[in-house]
Chain A
């Protein structure tokens, strides 16, 4: 079953055509990787999906809901979460608080004014958040201010924050960018571990090692156009893909 369907998306910045009639769909429960050389339009594509950019033409449909023109928080509310290239966390708050916030957002909606309720009296939220931290192996650091974490830990925290919302679709923008080999492998393990939960994932990635160890399906984007799509093994041998990557070198 399809969970995400992108149809005829175009996006230009001034004279530059960043996305050119992109059609794309994601099957429920799969890990779908988007790869492509630098400047291929991967990030623009992701931003169109999560409401940071509005496509010039075309539609993005999530199940039966059209995501085009929706505000980022509304898109999240229907079940789409995002992990950023540089981890976006609440750097001045503790790890536990970092996870409590998305957990509450999931339960209570985009705005709820309860100035007199005690947060530390809300056992349901506290337990759920703590479980989530245990899941990613950060439970013993729950009272640390998250800004002081290593990059790998920040990424894991961000993942925990997204997972705490039980998203239907998780978008990951270069989840291993700037990480050491060990951190990268840890992240791959973590992503594999959560693969069993039926969360559909769209991963944008540079690192082929990551792509081929995670993805069920790969889409190759070059100069704003999809040039190839298929199983990882097929993509590996595709001459067009090699052309795009190697050709990109002397562009």
Chain B
């Protein structure tokens, strides 16, 4: 890989990506995704998955507890709103710091083990956080109701004028809901992507990939893997915390369900679906899942009738009842099937599919590259 990287290529990739992200409202409109709430989710979960990928994609450590950092970030952001005011920047910074510290603690303990033991340890920590957030930590988390900003909160730096109007985050007068919120998230995603890109290309990045492929050789090469994995864990925890903060910046409410292990499973799925270890893959994966979630879960019998109306009645009936299983409430079924299909047939995710198709074209046009064997997909 190193032979093919160059600063110029990376800047071009970044520029193309930046343009694509910022113009999403335009080019995603035709497929019904051009509205701010959904695009905010694309950006937020894209950021979450990008961070997760720094840990899982590079080092191969499969964390099943990243939702805990998402939750910590969310709660910290809302508390920052409550104490300091509705500006999103301090909220984001505080969330990064808090989730980083949290990740340092959990990572320090969990990384003493590898393989499935690591997965179970992270899962255990996340479940503990989730259960505690629901029970004894209610004074901090407000339990089931969720934590929100109240008018009676101090909000030290909010001007007097902030007494009126809805309690939403605003960046020097720009409300962080709707398009304002989307562009704020998009810019953060771009910063996050840029950092991830640099990490991928850095000496630190190659050490993380070394951890994944052979820790034994690494130690006999004079390298201590533990600080590398811990650094990756903390960085990805910070990404998760920042994503959690963005959720509250666009909608100032933090609930414990964000920390449940299904949420951790979701980010794993996003990363795998897009392609673990690739830069763009996890972001694609996140967007795709959030898109399907929105579209599919909005389907109902009526829309299915419209779609399949071209079929003769006696076929249409069964088709609709089968398709009905997969949409609306049953969207999770689609998710599960998708999950299985990807793991079975395309372990490298969408990005591997893309590169396979790319190779197919290259081969057919006679420009094969004899020296580049593909990495076995793990």
CA distance A204 to B222 in the complex (A): 22
B135 in the interface (beta carbon within 8 A): no
A230 to chain B, nearest CB (A): 30
Q: Is A119 in contact with B206, judged by CB distance below 8 angstroms?
A: yes
Q: Is A117 in contact with B221, judged by CB distance below 8 angstroms?
A: no
Q: Is A93 in contact with B373, judged by CB distance below 8 angstroms?
A: no
Interface residue total, chain B, C-beta cutoff 8 A = 42
Most buried by A among B195, B198, B220, B375: B220
B6 in the interface (beta carbon within 8 A): yes
Q: Which of B87-143 contact A (CB under 8 A)?
A: none
Interface-facing stretch out of A3-11, A54-62, A140-148, A174-182: A140-148
B3 in the interface (beta carbon within 8 A): yes
A249 to chain B, nearest CB (A): 33
Contacts of A94 in B (CB 8 A): 1-3
Q: Is A105 in contact with B222, judged by CB distance below 8 angstroms?
A: yes
Contacts of A233 in B (CB 8 A): none
Quick one: CB contact mask for B1-30 with A, threshold 8 Å, 1 for yes? 111111100000000000000000000000
Instruction: Give the contact-size bracket for chain A.
Output: 35 or more
Interface-facing stretch out of A13-21, A82-90, A192-200, A239-247: A82-90
Q: Is A72 in contact with B206, judged by CB distance below 8 angstroms?
A: no
CA distance A230 to B52 in the complex (A): 57
Q: Which residue of A lies closest to B209 (CB)?
A: A93
Instruction: Give chain B's interface secondary structure class.
Output: helix
Interface-facing stretch out of B154-162, B224-232, B260-268, B322-330: B224-232
CA distance A96 to B376 in the complex (A): 17
Contacts of B209 in A (CB 8 A): 90, 92-93, 97
Q: Is B220 in contact with A72, judged by CB distance below 8 angstroms?
A: yes
Q: Is A165 in contact with B204, judged by CB distance below 8 angstroms?
A: no
Contacts of A144 in B (CB 8 A): 371-373
Quick one: CB contact mask for A149-184 with B, threshold 8 Å, 1 for yes? 000000000000100010000000000000000000
Interface-facing stretch out of A34-42, A73-81, A208-216, A218-226: A73-81
Among the listed B7, B220, B221, B378, which residue makes an inter-chain contact with A92, where contact means beta carbons less than 8 Å apart?
B378
B177 to chain A, nearest CB (A): 33
B359 in the interface (beta carbon within 8 A): no
CA distance A84 to B221 in the complex (A): 12
B147 in the interface (beta carbon within 8 A): no
Q: Is A91 in contact with B222, judged by CB distance below 8 angstroms?
A: no
A236 in the interface (beta carbon within 8 A): no
Decide yes or no: A119 and B203 within 8 Å by CB, A97-B1, A101-B223, A102-B222 being known contacts.
yes
A125 to chain B, nearest CB (A): 8
Interface-facing stretch out of B41-49, B210-218, B239-247, B310-318: B210-218
Contacts of A165 in B (CB 8 A): 221-222
B175 to chain A, nearest CB (A): 33
Q: Is B204 in contact with A114, judged by CB distance below 8 angstroms?
A: yes
Q: Is B371 in contact with A111, judged by CB distance below 8 angstroms?
A: no
Among the listed B222, B371, B376, B378, which residue makes an inter-chain contact with A73, where contact means beta carbons less than 8 Å apart?
B222
A119 to chain B, nearest CB (A): 5
A231 to chain B, nearest CB (A): 30
Contacts of A109 in B (CB 8 A): 222
Q: Is B203 in contact with A161, judged by CB distance below 8 angstroms?
A: no
Q: Is B373 in contact with A96, judged by CB distance below 8 angstroms?
A: no
CA distance A184 to B102 in the complex (A): 53
Question: Residues on A close to B: CB < 8 A?
Answer: 50, 71-74, 76-77, 81-82, 84, 88-94, 96-97, 100-102, 104-106, 108-122, 126, 140-145, 147-148, 161, 165
13 pairs across A/B with beta carbons < 8 Å? A74-B222, A88-B214, A88-B217, A88-B220, A90-B217, A91-B376, A105-B223, A109-B222, A114-B202, A115-B202, A117-B202, A117-B204, A120-B5
